[in-house]
Amino acid sequence: SRAIKIAPSILSADFANFGAECQAIEAQGCDWVHVDVMDGHFVPNITFGPATCAAIRPHIKGVMDVHLMIAPVDAYIDAFAQSGADIITAHLEAGPHIHRTLQAIRGAGAKAGLALNPGTGIENIGYLLDMVDLICVMTVNPGFGGQKFIRSQVDKVARLRAMIGDRPIHIEIDGGVTPDTAPLVAAAGADVLVAGSAVFKGGSVTNPAPYGANIQAI
């Protein structure tokens, strides 16, 4: 069986205290910190940019996993790499030149991730498999936390894991991951699970008590 990593998404954290929130989830057992960047154009929500990533970087000991829900992407890759992102994930749907985008991410010194929206198949990503370190399967339509897991994506995960074979590529699941849905995608071949509301629910910076229990439950 595959070791499963939990990557809490700070989209559901206290936006006034990202540093303390990152310290709390790391202290309570998370593996990566998932940072959701939204531009109000590729997705109908706006979060934050490279400056915020740079500000929270010193508060993260482990992997800062930056998910870019922005279009166009290429102009911002260097800024996110310089902010300290270990992984930079771009959406296949964000533009016509995804191969170039992935080249640019690795060229900037970060690991490259490819995100696929729920409606996007895996039939056309064969020429990208040597360009990525991670494939992020969206199990909600991007833009918001707390949405319902889209079950049709479980089959996509299994097919993707078969396509990847023994290549060193993480399959990350993003959206609607809870103790109920996590086993489905883990069994299908996922090895990194993003969870926002399932981790941060009921907590706050002054009382992060539930974070550890929420992380372990997934």
Three-state SS annotation for 84-144:
CCCEEEEEHHHCCCHHHHHHHHHHCCCEEEEEECCCCCCCCCHHHCCCCCEEEEECCCCCC
174 belongs to the binding site for Zn ion (CB under 5 A)? yes
Which residue type occupies 83? Answer: S
Q: In this chain, which residue has its C-beta nearest to ligand DX5?
A: 196
Rg (CA), the chain: 16
Q: Which is nearer to ligand DX5, 17 or 103 (CB)?
A: 17
197 belongs to the binding site for ligand DX5 (CB under 6 A)? yes
Torsion over CA of 61, 167, 123 and 171, rounded to 10 degrees? -30
86 belongs to the binding site for Zn ion (CB under 5 A)? no
Q: Which does 12 bind (CB under 5 to 8 A by kind): ligand DX5, Zn ion, none?
A: ligand DX5
Q: Please identify every residue annotated as catalytic.
A: 36, 174
Which residue type occupies 118? Answer: P
Does the annotation list 176 as a binding residue?
A: yes
Contact partners, residue 181, CB within 8 Å, separation at least 6? 139, 149
Binding mask 146-165 for ligand DX5 (x = CB under 6 A): xx------------------
177 belongs to the binding site for ligand DX5 (CB under 6 A)? yes
- CA-to-CA distance for 37 and 11, rounded, in angstroms? 9
> In the complex, what is the shortest distance from the CB of residue 110 to ligand DX5, in angstroms, rounded to a whole number?
18
- CA-to-CA distance for 168 and 151, rounded, in angstroms? 25
**Total residues at the site for ligand DX5 (CB under 6 A)?**
22
Does the annotation list 133 as a binding residue?
A: no
71: phi then psi, degrees, rounded to nearest 5: -155, 135
Does the annotation list 144 as a binding residue?
A: yes
Largest CA distance in the chain: 47
Binding mask 45-74 for Zn ion (x = CB under 5 A): ----------------------x-------
Q: Which residues in this chain contact Zn ion in the complex, by CB under 5 A?
A: 36, 67, 174
Q: Which residues in this chain contact ligand DX5 in the complex, by CB under 6 A?
A: 9, 11-12, 34, 36, 67, 69, 140, 142-143, 145-147, 174-177, 194-198
> Residues marked as binding for a divalent metal cation?
34, 36, 67, 174
